[in-house]
Amino acid sequence: MTLAPGLPAFPQRLEARGFTPAENSRIAREGFQCSRGFTLIELLIVVAIIALLMVLIAPAFTTIKSGTDVTSAAYTLKGVLDTARTYAKANNTYAWVGFFEEDVSQPSTTPAAAGTGRVVMSIVASKDGTVIYDPSNPSQIDATRLIQVGKLTKVDNVHLATFTDGSGTGSTFDTRPPVTFNGTQYRIGDTTTPPPSNTYFQYPVGNPAPAWQYRFMKAVQFSPRGEARIDNNSYSLQTAAEIGFEPTHGATAPASIPANVVAVQFAGIGGAVTIYRR
């Protein structure tokens, strides 16, 4: 290495500051040692610290992802309900949205087997504008008199859930409008209340009636005026009815209600849909 003209060598500069030749040699050695890289042990310590931090923050990332999943599911459900209501009004007919839950860890089968973690939704409508079933003797809706509206909608990693009523004093999840009227629950969730619909329908539909893959025992019915009710005409119109979603870990439902859940409510008159998230 060539020094700039007039610049003394490093040892000479140290001597000019009063350092002895022995001290000059020691300082030069230490300077070269300071410029060395990390040792293997130091690198291993750094890697161990990074791994520990990842373990600590991984649950936070999992919660964020599941929260995003359940919120996305709620907006998907809102879109399905809005589509059914719009179709019923535009075509002056009755429409139904059916709900079925199957095992998310397995491929869909024919016929489908009930399970946890994948919610399947289907929209059908009456071909002739009538309600099809006999309100005084409700039974399965004739598949030959139905038309499929759009494709099946499947949402993974969510579970139909039943929540306690809100207080009705505000606009948050805990203060949302109650959906129990005169002792009857107007909600779709994971309990047997309300019981499975007598006016269930199948997928696929057509004439002649094809072999069924899904039977939708839980449903929302829309009238030609856009009125929405649980299942069928056996349930009266109410100011609010509810569908609950909670996130799952694969095909396992949470043992207790998790922090991130949603209640999707729809109004009986007008069918407006509102999402309440906690």
Query: Could you report the per-residue pLDDT of 55-81, keeping only the tens digit for each?
Result: 665 443 333 344 458 899 999 999 999
User: Where is average pLDDT lowest: 84-93, 202-211, 247-256?
Assistant: 247-256
pTM of the model: 0.76
Strand partners, 218: 99
Q: Which is higher by pLDDT, 249 or 116?
A: 116
Rounded average pLDDT over 129-157: 95
Give the separation between CA 23 and CA 15, rounded to whole angstroms: 9
Find out whether 138 and 231 touch, Cβ atoms under 8 Å: no
Write out the residue range of the structural domain in which residue 268 sits: 65-277
CA distance 13 to 10: 5
Contact (CB, 8 A) for 70 and 262? yes
In a domain, 96, yes or no: yes
Q: Is residue 125 part of a domain?
A: yes
Q: What span, in angstroms and rounded, lies between the C-alpha atoms of 158 and 161?
A: 9
Helix (H) or strand (E) holding 273, with range, is: strand 273-277
pLDDT of residue 156: 94
pLDDT-based confidence at residue 52 (cuts at 50, 70, 90): confident
103 belongs to a structural domain = yes
Instruction: Give the residue from 159, 70, 76, 163 showing the smallest Cα distance to 123.
Output: 76
Average pLDDT over residues 146-151: 97
Q: Is residue 177 part of a domain?
A: yes
Give 258 or 110, the one with higher predicted confidence: 110
Average pLDDT of span 169-194: 91
Number of domains comprising the chain: 1
Q: What is the pLDDT of residue 191?
A: 79
- Amino acid code (one letter) for 59: P
pLDDT beyond 80 at 14: no
User: Do the Cβ atoms of 105 and 117 come closer than 8 Å?
Assistant: yes
Q: Decide if 130 contacts 94 (C-beta within 8 A).
A: yes
Distance CA 49, CA 100 (A): 46
- pLDDT at residue 39 in the model: 83
As a whole number, mean pLDDT of residues 241-257 equals 90
Residue 165 has pLDDT above 90, yes or no: yes
Q: Is residue 88 part of a domain?
A: yes
Query: Is the preceding peptide bond at 247 cis, omega within 30 degrees of 0?
Result: no
